[in-house]
Amino acid sequence: MKKIGLLGGTFNPIHNGHLYIASEAKAKFDLEEIIFMPAGNPPHKRSREILSGIMRSEMVKAAVEGYTGFTLCDYEINKKGYSYTFETLQHLNKLYEDVEIYFITGADCLMELSSWRRVEEILELSKFVVFKRPGYNLQELLKQKEKVEKHYNKEIFFLDLLEMDISSTDIRRRIKNSEEYRFFLPDRVYRIIEKLNLYR
């Protein structure tokens, strides 16, 4: 059975923190592949600051180039309408034969999981992996983990990471304010942003 990780996100822009999360997940869960899935039209994020799906996809493609087992999937970018996790997981399960998917997401998603569409199906189609984000209390997260596991009778996996306070929001703010931001990004992504004068 092939074991793959799915790391979705707006990736607006993708940064070194995303690559670190993917690398650690790949090693800890012995995954053959990590799929980076830029969100097309996420129902919970409706902002004018979000670049086009094609542009974000290009930056992800540039970021993962050269990393063994890191791939881009533009399924959500090309999909019409809102992008829901259960639909993406259905798609990947059909695309790959005999696959085990590790859905990698942040602590904020665990806290809000009950508001997601078809949670039972998400937990049936994937192993749910959560990493801690800055600003979240570990005890509260563990309490929520236990609550979700008990309610859905499914194990939630924790990915223990070094706490890196890197966010796409802060990177965009730095770019707008002409502050230094290069060290947060893969070089190829930095060059795309500079060349096309993005986020200014």
pLDDT of residue 41: 66
Q: Once rounded to an integer, what is the mean pLDDT over residues 47-73?
A: 92
| Average pLDDT score, the chain | 92
Reported in sequence order, the residue ranges of 89-176 that DSSP labels E, i.e. its strands, are 99-106, 127-131, 156-159
Q: Once rounded to an integer, what is the mean pLDDT over residues 162-168?
A: 87
pLDDT of residue 7: 98
**Using one digit for the tens of pLDDT, what is the confidence trace for 108-158?**
999 999 899 999 999 999 999 999 887 788 888 899 999 999 999 999 999
As a whole number of angstroms, the distance between CA 28 and CA 3 comes to 12
Give the predicted TM-score (pTM) of the model.
0.93
Strands 70-72 and 99-106: unpaired
Q: Once rounded to an integer, what is the mean pLDDT over residues 76-92?
A: 90
pLDDT of residue 163: 80
- What domains sit in the chain, N to C, each tagged with a CATH number? 2-165 (3.40.50.620)
As a whole number of angstroms, the distance between CA 62 and CA 157 comes to 29
Q: Is 137 exposed, middle or buried (0-12, 13-18, 19+ CB in 10 A)?
A: exposed
- Band of the pLDDT at 177, cuts 50, 70, 90? very high
